[in-house]
Amino acid sequence: MEPLRLIIRLPSWCEQEERVGTVYPTALDRMRLVVELAARNVEEGSGGPFGAAIFGASSGRLLSVGVNSVVRLNNAMLHAETVTLMRASARLERFSLAPADGGNGGELVELYTSCEPCAMCLGAILWSGVRRVVFAARRDDAERLGFDEGPVFPETFAYLRRRGIRVESGPLRDDARKLMERYRAVGGAIYNG
């Protein structure tokens, strides 16, 4: 029996558009990128309405991107956030993105995502070394669509804050919410509802 190999590829349209090293100077620029990734994922039929990216906190330099790939690759772990975390770790050849561990050249990194992270993604973020998460749509927007965001409580965010991780809402909530509605309109799969 051949050993199992796990290959996680972005859709071909996304690999062509990934601009690692490009500087996105503002929070709005960074959020525009992740919402555009999520929109393209829906329009191409390659996954759910979620996109994410990791940037250097002070430089705004793009380190990695991810899009939801759960249905396309038949893997419940492949949310946009976990995909971009795995890609950043692979690029840096490190299990932690924290600057104390070598991280991104000693720079703190931030995760921008088109929707507030679910329970699984918050767990991955905790161990990743990311110190700030900025999201567009909120968990209740995803839940209205039918997604189950898992056991996330006020205590969850208090714990993350104690561990030095900020999770905060950012710009473009309406754009991300409309994208979710578009996903439902085109019959996108609600895979954990």
Active site residues: 81
Helix runs in the chain, H state only = 12-17, 27-43, 70-73, 80-92, 119-128, 139-145, 154-162, 173-185
Written as six digits, the tokens of 82 are 């976990």
* Torsion of Cα atoms, 35 then 36 then 40 then 46, to 10°: -40
Angstrom distance (rounded) from CA 116 to CA 133: 9
Q: Which of 137, 134, 56, 126 is nearest to 96 (CA)?
A: 126
Q: In this structure, what are the phi and psi dihedrals at residue 55, rounded to the nearest 5 degrees?
A: -130, 155
**Is 89:55 a contact under the CB 8 Å cutoff?**
no
DSSP classification of residue 95: S
Strand order in the sheet with 166-169: 62-67, 51-56, 109-115, 132-137, 166-169
